Amino acid sequence: MNKIYSVSQVSYYIKDMFKKDILLSGISVRGEVGSLKYHSSGHVYFTIKDEYGAINCVMWRSSVPSGLKFKLEEGQKVVVTGSVETYEKNSSYQLYARRVELDGIGRLYAEFERLKSKLEAEGLFNEVNKKPVPKYPRTIGIVTARTGAAIQDIITVCGRRDPYVELILYPAKVQGEGAAISIASGIKKLDEMGLDTIIVGRGGGSMEDLWCFNDERVARAIYACNTPVISAVGHEVDFTIADFVADLRAATPSAAAELAVPDVSEVLSELNSKANLIRSHFMGKLRLYTESLNRAEMRLLKNSPEHKLMVLGQSVDEHYEKLFLSMEKKLDKAGIALDGYEKKLISDMSLSFEKTKRRLEVAAARLNGLSPLAKLASGYSYIEDKNGHNVSSVKGLHEGDSVKISFSDGSANAVIKSIEQT
Q: Is the pLDDT of residue 45 over 80?
A: yes
* 405 is a domain residue: yes
Query: Are both 122 and 81 inside the same structural domain?
Result: no
> In whole angstroms, what is the distance from residue 248 CA to residue 257 CA?
12
* 33 is a domain residue: yes
Report pLDDT for 265.
41
Report pLDDT for 405.
80
Query: Are both 194 and 97 inside the same structural domain?
Result: no
> Residue 174 maps to which CATH number?
3.40.50.10550
> In whole angstroms, what is the distance from residue 382 CA to residue 404 CA?
8
CA triple 6-8-13, angle to 5 deg: 100
The single-letter code of the amino acid at 307 is H
pLDDT interval class at 154 (50, 70, 90): very high
Q: Is the pLDDT of residue 77 over 60?
A: yes
Region for 211 from its dihedrals, namely left if φ exceeds 0, alpha if ψ lies in -120 to 50, beta otherwise: alpha
- As a whole-number percent, the residues of the chain with pLDDT over 70 amount to 90
Name the domain count of the chain: 3
CA triple 197-200-203, angle to 5 deg: 135
Q: Is the pLDDT of residue 226 over 80?
A: yes
* 217 is a domain residue: yes
Report pLDDT for 374.
64
* 194 is a domain residue: yes
Report pLDDT for 375.
65
Query: Are both 140 and 233 inside the same structural domain?
Result: yes
CA distances from 20 to 44, 60, 83, 290, 299 (A): 26, 22, 11, 21, 10
Q: Is the pLDDT of residue 166 over 50?
A: yes
Query: Are both 13 and 36 inside the same structural domain?
Result: yes
Q: Is the pLDDT of residue 396 over 80?
A: no
Query: Are both 143 and 15 inside the same structural domain?
Result: no
Q: Is the pLDDT of residue 264 over 80?
A: no
> In whole angstroms, what is the distance from residue 194 CA to residue 141 CA?
10
What average pLDDT score do residues 84-109 get? 78
Do residues 146 and 171 lie in contact, with contact meaning Cβ atoms separated by under 8 Å?
A: yes
When mean pLDDT is compared over 33-47, 200-214, 398-412, the highest value belongs to 33-47
Under 8 Å CB-to-CB from 404, ≥6 apart: which residues? 383, 384, 385, 386, 388, 411, 412, 413, 414
Query: Are both 120 and 231 inside the same structural domain?
Result: yes
Do residues 103 and 33 lie in contact, with contact meaning Cβ atoms separated by under 8 Å?
A: no
CA distances from 13 to 6, 88, 93 (A): 11, 10, 13
pLDDT interval class at 280 (50, 70, 90): confident
290: exposed, middle or buried (Cβ count in 10 Å: 0-12, 13-18, 19+): exposed
Q: Which of 104, 139, 165 is the last residue of a domain?
A: 104
Q: Is the pLDDT of residue 56 over 60?
A: yes
Report pLDDT for 388.
78
Residue 298 or residue 101, greater confidence: 101
Q: Which of 104, 132, 160 is the last residue of a domain?
A: 104
What average pLDDT score do residues 130-136 get? 92
DSSP result, 174-211: -SSTTHHHHHHHHHHHHHTTT-SEEEEEE----TTTTG
Query: Are both 75 and 166 inside the same structural domain?
Result: no
267: exposed, middle or buried (Cβ count in 10 Å: 0-12, 13-18, 19+): buried
Report pLDDT for 102.
81
How are beta strands 229-233 and 197-202 bridged, if at all?
Answer: parallel
pLDDT interval class at 403 (50, 70, 90): confident
Report pLDDT for 341.
78
Q: Is the pLDDT of residue 267 over 50?
A: no
> Residue 43 maps to which CATH number?
2.40.50.140
Report pLDDT for 43.
93
Residue 287 or residue 269, greater confidence: 287
Query: Are both 191 and 229 inside the same structural domain?
Result: yes
Proportion of the chain in helix, strand, coil states, percent, rounded to 5? 50, 20, 30
Query: Are both 55 and 140 inside the same structural domain?
Result: no
Report pLDDT for 152.
92
Domain extent for 390: 373-415
* 295 is a domain residue: no
CA triple 161-167-168, angle to 5 deg: 170
Q: Can you give the three-state secondary structure of 41-67, one letter per residue?
A: CCCEEEEEECCCCEEEEEECHHHHHHH
pLDDT digits (tens, 9 = 90+) for 192-208: 999 999 999 998 877 77
What average pLDDT score do residues 247-275 get? 74
Query: Are both 12 and 36 inside the same structural domain?
Result: yes
> In whole angstroms, what is the distance from residue 229 CA to residue 249 CA?
9
Report pLDDT for 39.
93
Judged by average pLDDT, the poorest of 3-12, 76-85, 131-140, 349-358 is 3-12
If residue 134 lies in a helix (H) or strand (E), which one and from where to where? none
Q: Which of 294, 218, 212 has its CA nearest to residue 23?
A: 294
Q: Which of 86, 104, 122 is the last residue of a domain?
A: 104
Query: Are both 258 and 115 inside the same structural domain?
Result: yes
What average pLDDT score do residues 376-399 get? 76
* 54 is a domain residue: yes
> In whole angstroms, what is the distance from residue 277 CA to residue 286 CA?
14
N-term to C-term CA, the chain: 125
When mean pLDDT is compared over 57-66, 268-277, 285-294, 298-307, the highest value belongs to 57-66
Task: Give me the sheet containing 402-407, strands edge to edge.
Answer: 382-384, 402-407, 410-415
Query: Are both 197 and 127 inside the same structural domain?
Result: yes
What average pLDDT score do residues 28-42 get? 91
pLDDT interval class at 5 (50, 70, 90): low
> In whole angstroms, what is the distance from residue 394 CA to residue 67 CA?
120
HSE (CB half, 13 Å, CA atoms) of 346? 6
* 279 is a domain residue: no
The single-letter code of the amino acid at 402 is S
Return mean pLDDT, the chain: 83
